[in-house]
Amino acid sequence: MKLVENILTRNPCYTAGRKITVKGLMLHSVGCSQPKASAFINSWNSPAHDSSCVHGFIDGNDGTVYQTLPWNHRGWHCGSGSRGSGNNTHIGVEMCEPACIKYTAGSNFICSDMATAKAVAKRTYEAAVELFAMLCKKYSLDPLADGVVISHKEGHSRGIASNHGDPEHLWAQLDMGYTMDGFRKAVKAAMGGKQETAGNPETAGGWYRVRKAWADASSQKGAFKSLEKAKKCADENPGHSVFDESGKAVYTGEAFRPYLVRVSIPDLNIRKGPGTDKPKTGKTTGVGSFTIVEEADGKGASKWGLLKSYQEKRDGWISLDHTSRV
């Protein structure tokens, strides 16, 4: 499981600052054909998004878990029912859904590519098992105990959530064979602490975190039990290092190497900083090849790149989502 911290600090749920005593975990499915967690994160990290907020999203394309609220923060993920609200007791996590499904009415949908859809559902299910196992350990929860690990649908049946059918509706219509009882058993099994093979050593009950600096939690790219996996992540994110539980840097990734990208659209905006919330320079790249000398995260794109011609003042950034690497 790759875990990335991306707290929705501008969402009103976060700024409300309420905390809970965690008594359980609730599994959700987003209910729309969107596999990218970034689509929700970018949209929900706004003062205007004042109706919902969850503790995490699981990306459908690669299974990455994005933590979007502190785990003990009171989320807005399940509404309420006749017996109150699971928001007061449960952590809520959303699994993203395949792009190849189309909702027709209520929770019913049609699917244009069953194989791809099943691969997405399998990927998010397996990541959810690992995440819930970690959280059950963290909060000393027994996933097989009554009401501890539940779905949104089960939350409604228990009177603590709004009337939704997720995620069982997705699993059933894709004929995955998954059930919440099976999910709970899988979480329990994952808590058994299986050792990874030699070459993938674990910390003593801790995690290796990949960040630019230990104090810069917002730059975290992942948290891993495996040192080798953490090193690989650091290599894939230039400027990042691997830190152990004490905050000591145990590995520094490879230095960033400039590379060429091809832009095929004539009007790709150049911005003064990495993000759609940064002002435009008033210029566009035009079609052509350009050298990227630095990468950064930012709103509105999975990754931003600094153009070589703007390197001195670092004030010329483009969305790399609209480029192809040469």
Instruction: Kindly report the pTM of this predicted structure.
Output: 0.63
CB 149 within 8 A of CB 183: yes
- Is the backbone of residue 46 left (phi > 0), alpha (psi -120 to 50) or beta? beta
Question: Which residue stretches of the chain have pLDDT < 70?
Answer: 193-205, 218, 254-255
Give me the pLDDT at residue 256, please: 72
User: What pLDDT score does 194 carry?
Assistant: 38
DSSP-assigned letters across all residues of 48-88: T--S-B-SEEE-TTT--EEE-S-TTB--BSS--BTTB-GGG
CA distances from 59 to 66, 224, 249, 322 (A): 8, 17, 28, 20
CB under 8 Å to 317, separation ≥6 — which residues?
A: 270, 271, 272, 273, 274, 275, 278, 296, 298, 304, 305, 306, 307, 310
Q: Give dist(CA 62, CA 37) in Å, integer.
A: 10
Sorted by where each starts, the structural domains of the chain and their CATH numbers stand as 3-190 (3.40.80.10), 208-252 (no CATH), 259-325 (2.30.30)
Distance from C-alpha of 1 to C-alpha of 131, rounded to nearest angstrom: 7
Predicted local confidence at residue 201, as pLDDT: 52
Residue type, 214: W
Q: Within 10 A of 37 (CB to CB), how many other CB atoms are there? A: 27
C-beta neighbour count of 74 within 10 angstroms: 21
CB 221 within 8 A of CB 232: no
H-helix segments, the chain: 12-16, 37-44, 114-138, 152-157, 168-173, 180-190, 227-236
Closest CA relative to residue 129, chosen from 205, 59, 184, 70: 184
